[in-house]
Amino acid sequence: MKKPAHLPRGAFYVLLAVCVIPFAPTATGTPSPTPTCTPGGTPEPWTPATPVAIDHYGGFMDSNGTVAYEGGGYRFLVDNVNQFGRFDPIANTWTPLAPVPDLNNAMASCVYAPNVNKLFVFGGERVPTPTVVNTTRIYDIGTNTWSTGAAMPDVRAFMGSGYYNGKIYLVGGYSTGSVEPSFGQVWEYDPVANTWNTSRMNMPITMGGPGFGIINGHIYIAGGRNLANTNLNTLYEYDIAADTWTQRANLPTGINIPGSAVIAGKLWVFGGGDPFANGSAAAPASPKQVLRGWLTRLFRPDTTNILQVYDAVTDTWSSGPSLNQQRSFPAGTGVGNTAVAVGGFTEYYPYTTTSVEINVTIGGCANPTPTVTPTATATATFTPTPTPTATPPATATPTGTPTSTATSTPTPTSTPRPSPSPRSRPTPVPRP
């Protein structure tokens, strides 16, 4: 480039550097892990919300951080249902969506993947049959349509689940309509490649129907059940990056098929119980049987409304406000700092409910959701090089020296979106 005659020589080289050397960064998307969340906040009392359209228990549920998606489940003494809808806890409204494409959906695992903006629904059971499947259903939020992904490595229901750093994780569960055989496997699913990884370390125990959630890259599996114990009170922590399991503080009350969510950086486990502890639920044949059933469950309830809250920083449990209605098998998730419980198996005939309850936590951080974060990448590096400067004539008086001022370029960032939580994984009706 030739120096224009009208420019001083120093100004020319400054202009040359600005024009030729690029400074602006280029954003490249790279998956980032869940941002660290400092736990805190105070749970408010649970309050009733707009009921779900159909009474059922064992529905699947997760959130994209703004609204919750809930569907499937079992309507007592009728059949599984394929209802599916979106719940907005701020507006307190339900919006019907495209129905679930099959009825093998009770106690399925539902996980929202923010890197593809889709909902994944894994496995599940057709309760009356009973039939357990290995189907991977994919719901496209943008088009309100369902499709099918790569089948799971085996049939499963009642699993713990969650999303972290671009991958989905499924833990434990059952392969039949009973509590045995139970499993402790960890399956990793890549929603972009549509592939499964079964090489991760198994849990130290086998179980199904736990409360669960992911906090800062660690999956927590709380309670559940297997053949050796009616209601487990164990808590296991899985470090996803290290691929290791550690046992943590036991739950104060052993629980099975509760609802669960991560709220303000803590794991919430609500409802649940010991379904069918008083015998397999069935429609009473007479008013006398109705009365006997009510009295039995009054003195020995097989569902609960308790809330148990786990602080992963201190490895301690505390109690929170109880649900207004006792329920096991509730679908559960967190929408920001709002816990949502949908449906469930109740104490008395007809046993299933349309009830929805929400709990808004004041303070603390919202449960963050991993996002694709732009990373600034410099396209070139400019290193100033000393440039010879012509000596002005003795008669010339300098009027000023041009000064180059560096201007910072903002680095693209993406605001983290509150994360999913997880869903309840109920226990099926025992078969004779």
pLDDT in tens, 219-236: 999 999 998 878 999 999
Q: Which residue has the higher pLDDT, 302 or 326?
A: 326
Lowest mean pLDDT among 141-150, 301-310, 321-330: 301-310
- Cβ-Cβ contacts under 8 Å for 128 (sequence gap 6 or more): 79, 80
| Phi (first) and psi of residue 211, to 5 degrees | -85, 155
pLDDT for residue 277? 58
Question: Could you tell me what percent of the chain has a pLDDT over 70?
Answer: 68
3-state secondary structure of 258: coil
E-state strands within 99-254: 109-113, 118-122, 125-126, 131-132, 136-140, 145-148, 160-164, 167-174, 182-190, 195-197, 211-215, 218-222, 235-239, 244-248
Lowest mean pLDDT among 71-80, 145-154, 410-419: 410-419
Tell me the mean pLDDT in the region 360-366.
65
Tell me the mean pLDDT in the region 56-75.
97
pLDDT for residue 384? 41
pLDDT digits (tens, 9 = 90+) for 171-195: 999 999 888 899 999 999 999 999 9
Neighbours of 409 (CB within 10 A): 11
pLDDT for residue 39? 66
Question: In terms of residues, how long is the chain?
Answer: 432
Tell me the mean pLDDT in the region 368-388.
39
pLDDT for residue 6? 46
pLDDT for residue 351? 80
The CATH homologous superfamily of the domain defined by 42-369: Kelch-type beta propeller (2.120.10.80)
**Residue 363 pLDDT class (50, 70, 90 cuts):** low
Torsional sign, CA 52, 89, 364, 37: positive
* Structure-block tokens of residue 86: 């979106």
Neighbours of 272 (CB within 10 A): 38
pLDDT for residue 192? 98
Structural domain boundaries in the chain: 42-369
pLDDT digits (tens, 9 = 90+) for 403-427: 444 344 444 444 444 444 444 434 4
pLDDT for residue 419? 43
Contact 24/329 with Cβ under 8 angstroms?
Answer: no
Neighbours of 350 (CB within 10 A): 14
Contact 42/362 with Cβ under 8 angstroms?
Answer: yes
Tell me the mean pLDDT in the region 9-24.
39
Residue 231 exposed, middle or buried by CB count within 10 Å (0-12, 13-18, 19+): buried
Contact 38/365 with Cβ under 8 angstroms?
Answer: yes
pLDDT for residue 383? 39
Tell me the mean pLDDT in the region 18-27.
36
Tell me the mean pLDDT in the region 205-212.
97
Say yes or no to pLDDT of 272 above 80: yes
Distance from C-alpha of 322 to C-alpha of 49, rounded to nearest angstrom: 15
Work out the mean pLDDT of the chain and round it to a whole number. 79
Say yes or no to pLDDT of 381 above 60: no
Say yes or no to pLDDT of 127 above 90: yes
Distance from C-alpha of 344 to C-alpha of 239, rounded to nearest angstrom: 31
Tell me the mean pLDDT in the region 341-353.
85
pLDDT for residue 390? 43
